[in-house]
Amino acid sequence: MKKADILILGAGCSGTSLAHYLENFGYTGKIVLLDSRTNFDREQRWCSWLEIPKTMSGLVQKSWQNWTVCDENYSTTQTSEKIFIQTNICSAVFFTLPFKLENC
């Protein structure tokens, strides 16, 4: 007996986002999110060097277009206007997002 078409291990930011986007893009099969945790209070934040999807852009608390890499002998600062903007989403904000997961 088939119980799931897709099994996602981990219901944190990545797993929940994957389920959300599969459904958003029309996937209609059965999705199972599997996680041993029932409490996600220990989640901290997620950072990304990618452009944040519009559905999550309101969750971004901070972003950087400049970053510096340095050690005791060298320092360089890089700048990006779009492609590699560093963004930060706090888990407490992420888990308030009203995901509508119909097939989970």
pLDDT in tens, 47-74: 666 676 777 777 777 777 888 899 999 9
Quick one: tokens of 52? Answer: 């944040």
**The pLDDT of residue 37:** 85
Q: Which residues of the chain have pLDDT under 50?
A: none
Alpha helix (H) ranges present in 1-104? 13-24, 91-94
Say whether pTM exceeds 0.85: no
What is the model's pLDDT at position 99? 62
> Of 8, 12, 18, 15, whose CA–CA distance to 37 is shortest?
12
pLDDT at 54: 74
Euclidean distance between CA atoms 66 and 62, whole angstroms: 12
Q: Which two tokens stand for residue 92?
A: 């407490």
